[in-house]
């Protein structure tokens, strides 16, 4: 980063992947579809003026893991572990010591999505597409609401 201080409560406006305005999109084949998502698509509008499309994947079925040649037994053990973590680590508890200095990063509240019924344990949202939707004025309005 540069030498200047960064303002904490600013949200940069979304920039498309290329100068032609082509949206950021994940592939529609390979690891993205085999074994594929359990549910979706879902969409959410972000404070940067973009909309993301996401799907719910079983944890071990998410695309990034498909590059590994894991046995069914190994996948089952990992999936069971993640389901236990999701059940035990509820959102209303603290899991880290309080900060002694500095501040935590802020997240766009729209990024905190709720799983559909039945997918509360062992499933994760994976973004597959992002595109500009609201322009800079919409992004500014959303940024002001985050402050």
Whether the pLDDT of residue 99 is over 50: the answer is yes
Look at residue 7 in the predicted model and tell me its pLDDT: 44
For residue 110, the tally of other CB atoms under 10 A from its CB is: 14
**Cα 115 from Cα 137, distance rounded (Å):** 30
SS3 (DSSP) at 103: coil
Q: What is the pTM assigned to this prediction?
A: 0.76
pLDDT band at 143 (very low <50, low <70, confident <90, very high): very low
Q: What are phi and psi of 26, to 5 degrees?
A: -80, 160
* pLDDT confidence bin for 124, thresholds 50/70/90: very high
Cβ–Cβ < 8 Å for 40, 132: no
Q: For residues 75 and 62, is the Cβ–Cβ distance under 8 A?
A: no
What's the gap between Cα 57 and its chain centre?
A: 12
pLDDT for residue 35 is more than 90: yes
Nearest to 44 by CA among 125, 147, 145, 137: 125
Contact, 95 vs 13, CB < 8 A? no
pLDDT at 67 over 50: yes
Geometric angle at alpha carbon 113, from 56 and 60, rounded to 5° = 30
What pLDDT shows up at residue 83?
98
Q: Taking the alpha carbons of 49, 55, 56, 62 in that order, is the dihedral positive or negative?
A: negative
């Amino acid at each position: 980063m540069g030498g200047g201080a960064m303002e904490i409560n600013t949200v940069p406006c979304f920039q498309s992947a290329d100068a032609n305005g082509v949206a950021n999109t994940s592939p529609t084949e390979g690891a993205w579809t085999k074994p594929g998502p359990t549910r979706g698509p879902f969409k959410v509008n972000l404070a940067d003026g973009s909309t993301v499309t996401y799907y719910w994947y079983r944890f071990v079925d998410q695309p990034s893991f498909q590059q590994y040649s894991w046995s069914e037994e190994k996948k089952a053990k990992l999936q069971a572990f993640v389901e236990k973590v999701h059940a035990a680590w509820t959102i209303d508890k603290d899991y880290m010591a309080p900060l002694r200095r500095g501040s935590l990063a802020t997240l766009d509240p729209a990024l905190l999505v709720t799983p559909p019924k039945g997918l509360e344990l062992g499933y994760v949202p994976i973004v597959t597409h992002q595109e500009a939707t609201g322009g800079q004025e919409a992004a500014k309005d959303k940024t002001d609401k985050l402050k």
